[in-house]
Amino acid sequence: MLKFLIPCYYLFYSRLKSKIEKISWFIIYVIPIYILGLFYISSDYFIFTTIFILSILIFNSIYEIGYIENDTKTILNEENPTLRLKVKDYDIFKEKYFIIIFLKIFISSSLLFLAYILSDIFLFKIYITQFLIILFLIRILFYMHNKIRNRANIITFFTLSTTKYSAPLFLILPLNNLLSVWIISFFLFPLLRTIEHSTKKKYAFIEWIGFVGNHDIFRVKYYSIMLITVCIINYLYTDTTLLVVLLLFIYFFIFRVSSYFLVKNKLYQRYNTLS
């Protein structure tokens, strides 16, 4: 049971099983969010990095409750559920589900308290109230996502994805910076992921599935269009923020082109759609 209490362990165990998928998670999730947050911080990079790591661990520990709920409770109401765990794991969750959930919340609370102590020692301002609100919101959204089993899941997936991508910065940045962070992060990844999610066979959007086609090729097209768009905007309106956005889209474009060639040349076989 203890292994499931470690923040991010359940994500790696149930969804990101290969080394490449784990590395990909860091490339498309952790690093871009870190860079976005770093852009708004003028000093104290060490304490920022420390608090950021704690924020990632806290948020994902709470987010994993939704995964656990999906894998152990929601599947009971599905005709052809995706079984991501071993038989012995289901036995553990059947017996100790509420204990695990309680302890994950307790560990997240302890890490948040640690973040508060460190911020007080190093005089680094954090925003606990808005962070707690976003943690509470993500639980509601994930609960709804797990309860709904139809095309409305595209909407719940969209809300989860957009919230997930900017949520760790809610502990670090003031509210007036978070809107621009949310907009930038939305186009960096959640919009693309929602489009891909909507092509799942269970939603039966046949024409849309045909339009999107191969996900690896579509990703290259998506970032090509976004990169061109940002270049044009950056040319018309010179701004430091736009320069950071441009660099991030270049970063994603290079990653997606590289991924496409790895898959095309069978150097990497994709097993899930998180990366």
Tell me the range of 80-89, 132-141, 235-244 where mean pLDDT is highest. Answer: 132-141
- Confidence band of 275 (pLDDT split at 50, 70, 90): very low
pLDDT beyond 80 at 66: yes
**pTM, whole model, 2 decimals?**
0.91
pLDDT tens readout for residues 72-109: 998 887 777 778 899 999 999 999 999 999 999 999 99
Q: What are phi and psi of 123, to 5 degrees?
A: 55, 45
pLDDT tens readout for residues 173-232: 999 999 999 999 999 999 999 999 999 988 989 999 999 999 999 999 999 999 999 999
Q: How far, in Å, CA of 7 to CA of 265, rounded?
A: 34
Both tokens of residue 210?
């045909």
Q: How far, in Å, CA of 247 to CA of 172, rounded?
A: 22
**All structural domains of the chain with their residue ranges:** 2-264
Closest CA to 108 of 29, 7, 12, 34: 7
123: left (phi over 0), alpha (psi -120 to 50) or beta: left
Q: How far, in Å, CA of 18 to CA of 119, rounded?
A: 35
Per-residue pLDDT, averaged over 234-252, amounts to: 88
Q: How far, in Å, CA of 52 to CA of 112, rounded?
A: 11
Both tokens of residue 105?
């919340």
Q: How far, in Å, CA of 141 to CA of 159, rounded?
A: 7
pLDDT given at position 160? 95
What is the three-class DSSP state of 40?
coil
